[in-house]
Amino acid sequence: MKTNVNVVLACSLVAFIGLFIGCSDLKDTLPAGTQTIGVHPSGWVSKTSADFHGTTIRSQSWDMTSCKTCHGGKYDGGTARVSCLTCHSDQAGPENCSTCHGSATSPAPPTDLDDNTATTVRGVGAHQVHLGGTSRSKGMSCSECHNVPGGVYTSGHVDGDNRAEVVMSNLLAGLPTSGVTPNPVYSSSTFSCSGTYCHGSFKNGNASNVAVWNISSTGTCGTCHGTTSGSTNQEKALPGGSHPIDLACSTCHGGVINASGTIINAAKHVDGRLNYLGVDQAF
């Protein structure tokens, strides 16, 4: 009878270890020849399967600590002798930011937590436009809008609602200029930012401008200062308030814009400074 008990215990241990064998990026199917499957469901490493391990981890509020039981504290093999780092090769392995959102080149979506890539989706929106910049403005860091966590398990990061809080507490959103102090607010219901320096809340700007996160047209000339009804970029971009009525923008701001009304130095546009006669200065 004792022998039978030992057999049962041994079988249970093998099944427990086998349960965690297998590795893959949360968003991609494993390359052929790199998977070792024990008692996991057959679709454990297939992104299109309902049994995909990424789906299971998501249902556990992105808690991957159970994986360490067999794969080791650094996911490098452990008792299972199967390293998750074969596929999760970025820094921190499975706990790298891009495992759940973004890509190998950027932690910011696309893709979002639901694997969306369209900019019309809230989770994607204008992430890459803000980080990478455009021909009209320089890029910015994640910390301009978010409290960037030190790791996946940092308090407040994975908090159950699968939404990143938009605090806008760094430099640009709330930057005060002469006579204007922004009051940045993000609306999770309309996906919009209002009262921000970077979208018009500055001296002679469109302080009432509301930028919609998932509509790309909100960044056109005249949106943040001037009016979008003009026929040329100069007519659109001409600020109101105490700004002189002069369409020759390049006369004063030649370090940023040329005579044709085209931004020639994106790094000096929406940067918290006023480029006047070639000199960067406070508003």
Tell whether the model's pLDDT for residue 252 goes beyond 80: yes
Percent of the chain predicted with pLDDT > 70: 86
Q: Which of 40-44, 83-87, 203-207 has the lowest mean pLDDT?
A: 40-44
Q: Which of 21-35, 78-92, 102-116, 189-203 has the lowest mean pLDDT?
A: 21-35
pLDDT, mean over the chain: 85
Give dist(CA 186, CA 215) in Å, integer. Answer: 15
At residue 39 the predicted structure's pLDDT band, cuts being 50, 70 and 90, is low
> Locate tokens 């009016």: which residue?
227
| pLDDT tens by residue, 83-120 | 989 888 989 999 999 999 999 889 999 999 989 999 99
Instruction: Provide the residue ranges of all domains of the chain, joining segments of one domain with +.
Output: 2-99
Closest CA to 217 of 242, 189, 243, 236: 236
Closest CA to 79 of 87, 68, 89: 68
Which residues partner with 185 through β-bridges?
Answer: 194
Closest CA to 164 of 215, 213, 93, 211: 213
Q: What's the per-residue H, E or C state across 142-174?
A: HHHCCCCCCCCCCCCCCCCCCCCCCCCCCCCCC
256 neighbors 269 (Cβ within 8 angstroms):
yes
Q: Which of 39-48, 179-188, 241-250 has the lowest mean pLDDT?
A: 39-48
Burial call 231-261: b when 16+ CB within 10 Å, e when fewer: eebbebbbbeeeeeeeeebbebbbbbbeeeb
At residue 32 the predicted structure's pLDDT band, cuts being 50, 70 and 90, is very low
At residue 38 the predicted structure's pLDDT band, cuts being 50, 70 and 90, is low
Closest CA to 130 of 121, 140, 120: 140
